[in-house]
C-alpha cells in the first residue's frame, strides 16, 4: 500500500466528481470551450501539451489497463483517453471499459475507484 498513491487517487476522484455531467465529452479535448474530456479537465502543460496531472493520472491508472486488456505489445500511451472515450482500438468492437459506466465521467471515476481498491489490497506473496 502506497499512502501517496491513495491520496492522489482520492484527489482525482473528488476533482472529477465535482465536474457537472454536461461538461464532459469524448473524442475531443474540448468542445465549445465548455465540455472537455478527462485530460482536458486536467489542463495542458509542458510535456507535449500534457499537464503534469495528466501524466500522473496516466501512470496511476496504468495497472488497471494492464489488468483489463493484457495484450502483449499493445500501446497504452494515453490511458486516460482510452478510458474516457471507451475506445481501445477503432477496429475493436469490444468496448472494454463500458462496464465502468456509460458516460466518460462514470468511467473515469470508476477507474480511479478500482485503482484505489487495487492499491489498498494487501499483496499476497507465495512462500
DSSP secondary structure string for all residues of 61-116: HHHHHHHH---TT---TTHHHHHHHT-S-TT----TTGGG-SSHHHHHHHHHHHHH
The owner of cell 496511476 is: 60
User: What local confidence, expressed as pLDDT, does residue 74 receive?
Assistant: 44
Place of cell 500501446: 75
SS3 1: coil
pLDDT, averaged across the chain: 79
pLDDT tens for 65-110 read 766 554 444 444 678 888 888 754 455 555 556 678 888 999 999 9
Beta carbons within 8 Å of 82's beta carbon, 6+ residues apart: 65, 76, 88, 97
Torsion of CA 92, 113, 108, 79, to 10 degrees: -60
What is this structure's pTM?
0.79
Amino acid at each position: 500500500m502506497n499512502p501517496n498513491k491513495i491520496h492522489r487517487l482520492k484527489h482525482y476522484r473528488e476533482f472529477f466528481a465535482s465536474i457537472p455531467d454536461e461538461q464532459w465529452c469524448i473524442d475531443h479535448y474540448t468542445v465549445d470551450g465548455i465540455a472537455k474530456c478527462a485530460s482536458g479537465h486536467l489542463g495542458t502543460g509542458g510535456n507535449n501539451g500534457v499537464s503534469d496531472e495528466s501524466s500522473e493520472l496516466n501512470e496511476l491508472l496504468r495497472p488497471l489497463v494492464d489488468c483489463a486488456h493484457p495484450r502483449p505489445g499493445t500501446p497504452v500511451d494515453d490511458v486516460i483517453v482510452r478510458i474516457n472515450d471507451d475506445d481501445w482500438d477503432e477496429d475493436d468492437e469490444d468496448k472494454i471499459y463500458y462496464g465502468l459506466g456509460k458516460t466518460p465521467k462514470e468511467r473515469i471515476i470508476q477507474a480511479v475507484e478500482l485503482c484505489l481498491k487495487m492499491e489498498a489490497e494487501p499483496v499476497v506473496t507465495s512462500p
